[in-house]
Structure 1
Amino acid sequence: MAVSADAAVVELLDSSNYLDWSVLVKTYLLAQDLWDVVEEEEEEEADDEFKAWRKKNAMALHKIQISCGREAFSLIRNTTSAKSAWDTLAEKFKPKPFLTRYDNDYNQYKPLFDAVRSGDWNKAKDFLTLHPNAIRARLPSRGMIALHLATELEHEHIVEELVQLM
């Protein structure tokens, strides 16, 4: 899909360029005094103030729409609010914070580490029954597995049980 001659960007939004695209579109909308409609929804009223807002909203929404590739546009095709369109595109295309494998393991297996810390083998065993791969999960800050943590905390009964499971 080609970039429209009156688009606010040189490259249409797709799954790989959200950060650059959003900066360019926001700068354009700020320069055209349209950004305020992206920041806040307006209450619908029948007065001149609402009519002015509606016009600015339509102009901002149009610029956002013509700056999108097919996939991005399909997400906002039926949207009537510039703010809603902007928020939808950000939710879909804005890169998520990077999590390492260890961070994911820790978040997923936190109940195991909590059980080991507290010395509660029954909770740890119940968790390991449901998640057997958790035995290899590591604490992100220190790279320790549950066995190392149990050893460090001198929970001998947990150490013995974990060694048997391994």
Structure 2
Amino acid sequence: MLFFRQALEARGVRTPEDVLPLYREAAERLGLQNADPASKTVEGWFYEGRKPQRAFRPVVVEMLGYSVEDLWTEVPEGASPNFNPLTSASLTPSHAEAGVDLTEMKRTGTMAVLRAKEFLLGKDRERVGDDTLGLLDDEVTRLVAAYPREPLSAI
């Protein structure tokens, strides 16, 4: 059984029709409108194990609090998965205040990512290797996922 389905069943969701209300709530938290997948699409996720298309992935991650890779991993029946929820996926509304300029937010986020990159590469400047590149990729991914949901000062 996919962890996606197991996570839904843990929330009492047993049919694809029950997924849509949760999906709509998560899309609303992300500020998306009219972003509902077709019922056949949800059935494909639920019964056939198809991964969502890229447009739907952020909402699914927001909805369940786990990465798409974790959610679309097979978990043996009755086994307890060993996945950690994303710290950036929050079931609470965004911390961004109304009236915050989107351009300023993008500029500040870009600056944070560049500083993180400089820090990581500066620390290992003499010994750049696969570990450093993987660490850099993980950190940039974390920052990109965390930035819309957490204040920059907390990140």
When normalised by structure 2's length, the TM-score is 0.25
Higher helix fraction (1 or 2): 1
TM-score, scaled to structure 1:
0.23
